Structure 1
Amino acid sequence: MPPAKKRARTYDSAKIRAAVPAQFGHVREAVEGLAPEQLALPSGLGEWTVRELAAHLCMGVESVSLAIERDRSDEEATPADQPLVTLATWPFATAAHAAPIARGVREYAATAAPGALFARTAERLQALLPAQDDDRVVPIRVGPMRLGDYLVTRTVELVVHTDDLNRATGLSVPFDRQALAACTRVLADALAVKAPGASTEVRVPPYAVVQCVAGPRHTRGTPPNVVETDPLTWIRLATGRTDWREAVDAAQVSASGERADLGGLLPLMG
């Protein structure tokens, strides 16, 4: 008998709807306190400055409002048989859109000062989101997606780029616990999708444990192949900010067993 299909992870809607504006608020407070010379610093992401990174953070949240505002004619233009983008497929659908996003960031950053961008984005989200149902299908850049699922993806964007902002500026912008948990889980589940199996257990305490990698299935006792790391290190590995071998050598990752080397599977998204 084939193994039972794993159930997709679910997320508490109220917690996600609170986590997105909470993390956005943390970033907004930090960015509004930056001096012009700090905004001009390199972000560590290609040629973007910190100001452009901040604009990208705004774009990620503003995309929720834009998707909600799409009129009925826009939604009906999406073929009825087009499959929904799910949380399992979203991490692998974003890379194809990196170039247009990069171009759009520069244009968006030039439209207003960072403080004005953050204020406008927060106001629009607060006005538009509460009345919307999680099951509403919204058209986004990578395809149609449930609004509830799309909000979960915003925790990934916010947490990943908050970490980028901290490393670029030396700030210590805090991470909302629910946003950090959701981001960690989405990326852990993406690994299980990319490398299905049950021979290796990946632990990211206190938020996620997944089994992955083809091979002998573990059933009881201590798994023979175990990877363990902290949430931020995992997020940096999954998004290409940190190299696997360097993280292992620096003892940021514990990996034991012949199938515990995840270097060939990472990053999962850029």
Structure 2
Amino acid sequence: MELIDGNKIAATIIAELKAEVATSTGRKPCIALVRVGDDPASVSYVTKKEKACAEIGITSRLIFPAVTISQDELFATIDQLNTDDTVDGILVQSPLPKHINEIAVFRRIAAHKDVDGFHTMNLGKLAQEDDTGFVACTPAGIMELLQRSGVNLTGKHVVVLGRSLIVGKPAGLLALQRKPWANATVTICHSQTTNLAAITKQADILIAAIGKAEFVTADMVKPGAVVIDVGVNRVPDDTKKSGFRLTGDVHFPTVSPSVSKITPVPGGVGPMTVAMLMKNTVKAYRQNLASTTA
């Protein structure tokens, strides 16, 4: 069994982007990070993104409105960023307060600045294999993990557990693409799938993004399969100072001995999500410069 080290691969991507940005003349890439309220998880995620920006040389513009901000007020903030030519990418950290419609917020961000890859136009471009669009960071990171670990999907059966717009659906579309390292046969499973274990056991590559702690057990995985665990779940653990431990959607102790490659939690897919956000931001910067000089 080989452990796929997401920290190591993400660090390589960050170093590549740092070298690319260092060659830029004039202003540096800029991303606006919008965090509504002070949710502890959101604070942590935005801080990680801010640190990655600083390491690469990307300017991060931090906007932290109060949790009481109205949807219209948040739209006005986004509209202002949409028309600011010095801002290349916009990220609105989720989850948002219940009085704000997340999908409406994602659609409000200009598609060419949507470095999270959630806009309707970018999802459409992904389906059409149009590389000018932006791919959601977690599934893009999964594909990078696989490729940089020497896992070629061509002709393989990829089973995705989960059908979210953030992970499951785009991951399936990426694996299906007519491109090197893709060209897979894809099955997407979800909460209404019958005979689930019979399907997951057919997978050459299993992507678990179902949001249930240690849901995937050894009897659901084919020996020699590659397992990508996207889940991040907090499980009570009295032996930890925090009172909990982080675990994925895969029961690592029983699944890992029989597979060929597997990602850990933490340290697998998570670091790749931030790295791919940075990669999307540099891409948006390049496209922005090209459009303003054309």
TM-score band w.r.t. shorter chain: 0.3 to 0.5
Report the structure, 1 or 2, having the larger strand content. Answer: 2
- Normalised to the residue count of structure 1, the TM-score between the two structures is 0.34
- Normalised to the residue count of structure 2, the TM-score between the two structures is 0.32
